[in-house]
């Protein structure tokens, strides 16, 4: 009886489906721990939300404007259509939960990508590396398009590597969906095309099969491409590729130098904290034993990295442009993991300890480097204070990004009017909701007096000063010595609310300011 129980326990532990479910539940638990349903989405996620909600209200995609990457908000529109809430925050929660679920589901195609070359236990570790990667966890919390894009990218790669040849054509279809979600999905098409010819170059009618795959891809993106051309004058998919090539040709050497410098920098940052232990060594092992697996890995990495290189050439400073490479990084990591685990006799124990170390490292990184959700909550509450009465304040990004969503939620018409309208068809959009609080980028000055005078014509009424590192030194001086500025009337002090985020809001008394300047 004891032997039967031991065998049953062992079979459960070695069952990849059960292990993947456990990994999924743990990764979901981590994400829900950091999930903050009381704060709105911001920036890009805010734009996606508006587009999706406008589509829900009018019952179809807007005919006069569109996001450049509208695949994700189009999906959200379908989800939103199944709900009726009396507040916007509930819809935003659905948006963020959806991105969390896509992030967790990505462990499934990553498992099968790794399974192409490794047994099930090592493939599960590959899925765990992705599930617990802290940057992926953080990114999944904000309602952005990357989780869906990475899921579709990983699924397309998984299908092109499948032993079932009929799934090859499904891979082109999924690559088309990824391209609708984000225009850089064209790189997924290039990647799976190279892999296609590596794996099937000796088969008959290879060119005809590839043309069929291209047709499936083209038919997938065609309806959305036509829609975007009609609304914004550009398909933002093929046009983005040709535009990138043209820009690189026009700018020449500086374009490529900037791209190389930033790519190396952000590539290094993306390695921290987990991949740094695996990927560099993995590249060395791949190059030492260059085989078909090595060819496929490089055939995937190089095309998928090109959009990131272009972004860093602009330059756009964000680590998330490299997230699409993470499924391949997981595969490379398993090469190192297998070599390391093979040195021990009790390999199952080492695998468990390894996954545990990855999990702990991720949580430590999230706690001390990547996420400070208490700071986000406090930033949102400060934004809510700012919008209570009309005022014009200085932009204090990134904390100020909550001001616009806060005022929109406050002013949202219960009549369910659409949020955005174009000035003219195909042009930028403007909000239908009048905003009473304005954020302005300050004209420079060497002290508080110059800042106020230089921005007086812009209508600035209040100064928001905080303790963040990138603020002007005289703002920090004002924060600590407010009594030296009699023309600034303190209206808000976050320390009175016991906030860790130190912020003060001052109303500018221009009569007192003029007397102070004149020495009266």
Q: pLDDT tens for residues 504-515?
A: 999 989 988 888
pLDDT at 329 over 70: yes
User: Mean pLDDT over residues 437-451, rounded?
Assistant: 82
> Cβ distance 96 to 143 under 8 Å?
yes
Highest averaged pLDDT of the listed ranges 107-111, 318-322, 437-441, 478-482: 107-111
Q: Rounded mean pLDDT of the chain?
A: 86
The sign of the torsion formed by the CA atoms of 190, 75, 270, 265 equals positive
> Cβ distance 161 to 195 under 8 Å?
yes
pLDDT at 305 over 90: yes
pTM for this prediction: 0.90
- Measured between alpha carbons, how far is 154 from 107 in angstroms, rounded to an integer? 9
pLDDT for position 230? 85
> Cβ distance 412 to 433 under 8 Å?
yes
User: Mean pLDDT over residues 327-349, rounded?
Assistant: 92
pLDDT for position 15? 86
Write out the two tokens for 489: 């009337």
Distances (CA, A) of 146 to 111, 185, 218, 321, 379: 19, 11, 22, 9, 24
User: Mean pLDDT over residues 283-288, rounded?
Assistant: 91
Higher pLDDT: 441 or 322? It is 322
Q: Using DSSP bridges, classify how beta strands 437-440 and 462-466 pair: parallel, antiparallel or unpaired.
A: unpaired
- Measured between alpha carbons, how far is 204 from 432 in angstroms, rounded to an integer? 58
State percent of the chain over pLDDT 70.
Answer: 89
Higher pLDDT: 176 or 457? It is 176
pLDDT for position 217? 95
> Cβ distance 53 to 114 under 8 Å?
no
Higher pLDDT: 160 or 234? It is 160
Other C-beta atoms lying within 10 Å of the C-beta of residue 78: 11
User: Mean pLDDT over residues 138-151, rounded?
Assistant: 95
Size of the chain in residues = 520
- Looking at the chain, the number of H-run helices and the number of E-run strands are 23, 7
pLDDT at 126 over 80: yes
pLDDT for position 154? 97
Look at residues 82, 190, 75 and name the one whose alpha carbon lies nearest to residue 144: 75
The sign of the torsion formed by the CA atoms of 218, 219, 220, 224 equals positive
Angle (nearest 5°) at CA 186 between 184 and 187: 80
Name the pLDDT band for 326 (thresholds 50, 70, 90).
very high
pLDDT for position 391? 86
pLDDT at 187 over 60: yes
**57-66, 77-86, 106-115: least confident range:** 57-66
**191-200, 269-278, 334-343, 388-397: least confident range:** 388-397
pLDDT for position 480? 84
Highest averaged pLDDT of the listed ranges 54-68, 97-111, 301-315, 363-377: 97-111
Q: DSSP string spanning 311-322?
A: HHHTT---GGGG
Look at residues 132, 37, 26 and name the one whose alpha carbon lies nearest to residue 85: 37
pLDDT at 423 over 50: no
The sign of the torsion formed by the CA atoms of 257, 69, 131, 100 equals positive
342 class by beta-carbon count within 10 Å (0-12 exposed, 13-18 middle, 19+ buried): exposed
Torsion, Cα of 485, 488, 491, 494 (10° steps): -40
User: Mean pLDDT over residues 185-208, rounded?
Assistant: 91
> Cβ distance 386 to 452 under 8 Å?
no
Higher pLDDT: 419 or 287? It is 287
Residue-range domain boundaries for the chain: 12-370, 374-517
Write out the two tokens for 277: 């232990």
* SS3 label, residue 504: strand
pLDDT for position 293? 87
pLDDT at 2 over 80: no
Name the pLDDT band for 192 (thresholds 50, 70, 90).
very high
Look at residues 433, 404, 410, 411 and name the one whose alpha carbon lies nearest to residue 420: 433
Looking up tokens 């499948």 gives: 162
pLDDT at 252 over 70: no
User: Mean pLDDT over residues 25-48, rounded?
Assistant: 92
User: Mean pLDDT over residues 210-237, rounded?
Assistant: 88
pLDDT for position 418? 57
pLDDT for position 85? 87
- What is the H or E stretch that residue 47 is in? helix 43-58
Distances (CA, A) of 53 to 47, 84, 139, 181, 331: 10, 11, 22, 17, 38
284 class by beta-carbon count within 10 Å (0-12 exposed, 13-18 middle, 19+ buried): exposed
pLDDT for position 419? 60
Other C-beta atoms lying within 10 Å of the C-beta of residue 292: 10
Instruction: Provide, for the chain, the percentages of residues in helix, strand and coil under a 3-state DSSP scheme, each rounded to the nearest 5.
Output: 70, 5, 25
pLDDT at 105 over 90: yes
Other C-beta atoms lying within 10 Å of the C-beta of residue 204: 7
pLDDT for position 367? 86
- Measured between alpha carbons, how far is 167 from 61 in angstroms, rounded to an integer? 31
- Measured between alpha carbons, how far is 267 from 312 in angstroms, rounded to an integer? 11
pLDDT at 7 over 70: no
Highest averaged pLDDT of the listed ranges 258-262, 367-371, 439-443: 258-262
- Measured between alpha carbons, how far is 65 from 383 in angstroms, rounded to an integer? 28
User: Mean pLDDT over residues 344-351, rounded?
Assistant: 88
Looking up tokens 């995937």 gives: 300
pLDDT at 190 over 80: yes
Name the pLDDT band for 415 (thresholds 50, 70, 90).
very low
Higher pLDDT: 409 or 195? It is 195
> Cβ distance 326 to 150 under 8 Å?
yes
């Amino acid at each position: 009886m004891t032997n039967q129980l031991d065998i049953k326990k062992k079979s459960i532990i070695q069952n990849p489906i059960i292990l993947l479910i456990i990994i999924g539940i743990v990764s979901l638990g981590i994400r829900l721990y950091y999930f903050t349903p009381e704060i709105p989405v911001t920036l890009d996620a805010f734009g996606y939300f508006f587009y999706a909600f406008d589509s829900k209200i009018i019952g179809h995609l807007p005919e006069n404007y569109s996001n450049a990457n509208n695949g994700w908000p189009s999906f959200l529109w379908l989800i939103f259509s199944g709900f009726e809430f009396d507040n916007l925050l509930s819809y935003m929660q659905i948006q963020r939960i959806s991105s969390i679920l896509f992030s967790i589901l990505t462990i499934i195609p990553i498992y099968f990508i790794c399974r192409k070359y490794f047994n099930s236990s090592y493939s599960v570790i590959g899925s765990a590396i992705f599930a617990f990667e802290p940057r992926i966890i953080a990114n999944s919390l904000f309602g952005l398009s990357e989780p869906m894009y990475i899921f579709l990218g990983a699924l397309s790669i998984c299908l092109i590597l499948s032993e079932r040849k009929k799934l090859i054509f499904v891979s082109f279809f999924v690559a088309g969906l990824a391209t609708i979600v984000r225009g850089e999905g064209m790189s997924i098409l290039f990647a799976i095309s190279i892999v296609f010819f590596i794996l099937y170059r000796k088969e008959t009618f290879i060119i005809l099969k590839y043309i069929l795959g291209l047709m499936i891809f083209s038919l997938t993106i065609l309806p959305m491409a036509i829609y975007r051309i009609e609304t914004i004058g550009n398909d933002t998919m093929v046009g983005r590729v040709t535009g990138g090539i043209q820009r690189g040709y026009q700018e020449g050497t500086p374009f490529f130098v900037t791209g190389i410098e930033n790519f190396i920098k952000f590539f290094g940052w993306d390695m921290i904290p987990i991949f740094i232990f695996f990927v560099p060594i993995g590249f060395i092992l791949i190059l030492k034993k260059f085989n078909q697996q090595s060819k496929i890995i490089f055939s995937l990495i190089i095309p998928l990295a090109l959009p990131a290189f272009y972004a860093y050439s602009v330059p756009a400073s964000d680590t998330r442009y490299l997230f699409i490479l993470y499924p391949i990084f997981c595969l490379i990591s398993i090469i190192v993991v297998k070599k390391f685990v093979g040195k021990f006799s009790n390999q199952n124990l080492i695998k468990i300890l390894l996954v545990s170390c990855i999990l702990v490292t991720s949580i430590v990184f999230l706690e001390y480097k990547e996420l400070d959700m208490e700071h986000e909550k406090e930033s949102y509450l400060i934004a809510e204070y700012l919008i209570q009465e009309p005022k014009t304040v200085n932009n204090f990004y990134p904390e100020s990004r909550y001001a616009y969503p806060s005022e929109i939620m406050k002013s949202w018409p219960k009549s369910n009017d659409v949020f955005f309208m174009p000035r003219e068809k195909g042009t930028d959009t403007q909000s239908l909701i009048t905003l009473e609080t304005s954020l302005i980028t300050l004209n420079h000055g060497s002290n508080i007096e110059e800042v106020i005078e230089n921005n007086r014509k812009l209508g600035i009424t209040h100064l928001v000063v905080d303790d963040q590192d990138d603020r002007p030194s005289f703002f920090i001086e004002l924060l600590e010595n407010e009594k030296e500025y009699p023309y600034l009337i303190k209206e808000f002090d976050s320390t009175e609310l016991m906030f860790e985020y130190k912020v003060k809001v001052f109303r500018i008394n221009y009569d007192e300011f003029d007397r102070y300047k004149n020495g009266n």
